[in-house]
Amino acid sequence: MNIVVGPLDGTPAAAQSVEVVERKGLGHPDSICDAIAEEVSLALSRHYLQRFGVVLHHNVDKVLLRGGTSRPAFGGGEVDEPIEIYLAGRATREWRGIAVPVDELAVEAARAWLAAHLHALDVPRHVRVHSLLRSGSADLVELFARQPEGGPRLANDTSLGVGFAPATPLEAAVLRAEHSLRDPTAPERGEDVKVMGVRVAERSTLTVACAFIGRHLRDLDAYLEARREAARTASHAGRTATGSELPVEVNTADDAAAGSVYLTVTGTSAEAGDDGQTGRGNRMSGLITPARPMTLEAIAGKNPITHVGKLYNVVATRIAEALVSGIDGVREANVLMVSRIGTPIDAPQVVHLRLRTDAPQHLAALARPARELARRHVSEIAALWRTLLLHNLATGESGPP
């Protein structure tokens, strides 16, 4: 295995003069698409496994959300036109003469996730789900089915995965702030929360967009108090993560004097203000981090058996975290993995480990244990799917299981 160890040069993200970190909450239209894509993959995988004893070929990583129209109001409001969700991708519809109810499984998985995670959304009334899934191409289906005797599956794409560790204080603050605002004791807050963290020199601030739900607020004064409480909640979460005061502004586009505020019927801007699609949301870390290594690959909805676009992002993150937590002297790690279609998933073209150490001269001594750690994680990739079937990666708080 080609494992390359090198120095992680440059200024650490936490020490750069400017740092920007974003998280889109569960109810954001892009996050909804990611979560549904992953939930559909999980539903198909579990059905294939239960019915046939194997997970069959599928990639359902193309979900589009078309926003509806609504008339929010204090004390109520109405959705006039429903949210439309389109499920696209490929899935095995027949195996050895037995039909697979792909569309039924996909639609039910999408509806169940929405009902479980968006508390103000009336799924039968507010959402229409359309399955546009088709069978896979003959060559990729054949590649998926081709298994070396006693060996690992073959990669179904030439792709890459990246990971980094540890999180910066601002990254931790953004994650914690978004999570803290999802509070069942505050039903006036929808799950559509977006947190943007910005640090300039030593000063960090959070800007929050939070969809409030009209039927839980009697009037504008109640809204303004709920907005202040959301700011206090996010500020406390940020202070817990960073150890210092963190100014928070919530719904900065509001014009209270004109009665223009961020009010919704369902708790998500998907009801009227925004559309969504898979791959535009959070990365494997649960964040959008432009100061970090990132890939455009959408992990959500890709099969957990051979799709390196999912597997390599999970493994790269695991390796980075293990390097920092498990090897004394490694302060920070970036990991890059590259596959080649048709080759074993545990034989990447290259695994690049970039390490920031206590002192530059320590890198040579740490290279060997770093390679051994990476090799061990890569060797376990063929069995990773069993763990992935227990988790929806798109709804994780801080990365892979």
pLDDT band at 314 (very low <50, low <70, confident <90, very high): very high
pLDDT band at 360 (very low <50, low <70, confident <90, very high): confident
Residue 84 has pLDDT above 90, yes or no: yes
C-alpha to C-alpha distance for 171 and 208, rounded to whole angstroms:
14
Range with lowest mean pLDDT among 140-149, 188-197, 254-263 = 140-149
pLDDT at residue number 152: 72
Residue 310 has pLDDT above 90, yes or no: yes
pLDDT band at 136 (very low <50, low <70, confident <90, very high): confident
pLDDT at residue number 171: 97
pLDDT at residue number 147: 63
pLDDT tens sequence across 242-252: 988 899 999 99
pLDDT at residue number 250: 98
292 in Cβ contact with 164 (< 8 Å): yes
Overall average pLDDT of the 286-295 stretch? 93
C-alpha to C-alpha distance for 282 and 293, rounded to whole angstroms:
13
pLDDT at residue number 394: 86
Q: Average pLDDT, whole number, for the chain?
A: 93
Model pTM score = 0.94
C-alpha to C-alpha distance for 239 and 233, rounded to whole angstroms:
10
pLDDT at residue number 79: 97
Overall average pLDDT of the 337-365 stretch? 93
**Burial of 14: CB neighbours in 10 Å, binned 0-12, 13-18, 19+:** middle
**What share of the chain in percent tops pLDDT 90?**
86
pLDDT band at 401 (very low <50, low <70, confident <90, very high): very low
29 in Cβ contact with 377 (< 8 Å): no
Residue 397 has pLDDT above 50, yes or no: no
pLDDT band at 358 (very low <50, low <70, confident <90, very high): confident
Q: Which two tokens stand for residue 184?
A: 């069942």
265 in Cβ contact with 79 (< 8 Å): yes
Residue 102 has pLDDT above 50, yes or no: yes
pLDDT tens sequence across 58-79: 999 999 999 999 999 999 999 9
Residue 362 has pLDDT above 90, yes or no: no
Residue 327 has pLDDT above 80, yes or no: yes
The DSSP call for residue 381 is G
Amino acid at position 105, single letter: L
Least Cα distance to 212 among 175, 183, 172 occurs for 183
pLDDT at residue number 179: 95
In this structure, the number of other CB atoms found within 10 A of the CB of residue 203 comes to: 11
The DSSP call for residue 269 is G
**What share of the chain in percent tops pLDDT 70?**
95
Looking at 2.40.40.20, 3.30.365.10, 3.20.20.80, 3.30.300.340, the CATH number of the domain 14-24+169-276 comes to 3.30.300.340
Overall average pLDDT of the 164-189 stretch? 96
pLDDT tens sequence across 137-162: 766 666 676 665 556 788 989 999 99
Residue 127 has pLDDT above 70, yes or no: yes
Q: What secondary structure does DSSP assign to 154-214, as a single string?
A: BPSS--EEEEEES--HHHHHHHHHHHHH--TT-TTEEEEEEEEEEEETTEEEEEEEEEEEG
Overall average pLDDT of the 266-270 stretch? 97
pLDDT band at 224 (very low <50, low <70, confident <90, very high): very high
pLDDT tens sequence across 11-24: 999 999 999 999 99
pLDDT at residue number 151: 63
pLDDT at residue number 399: 39
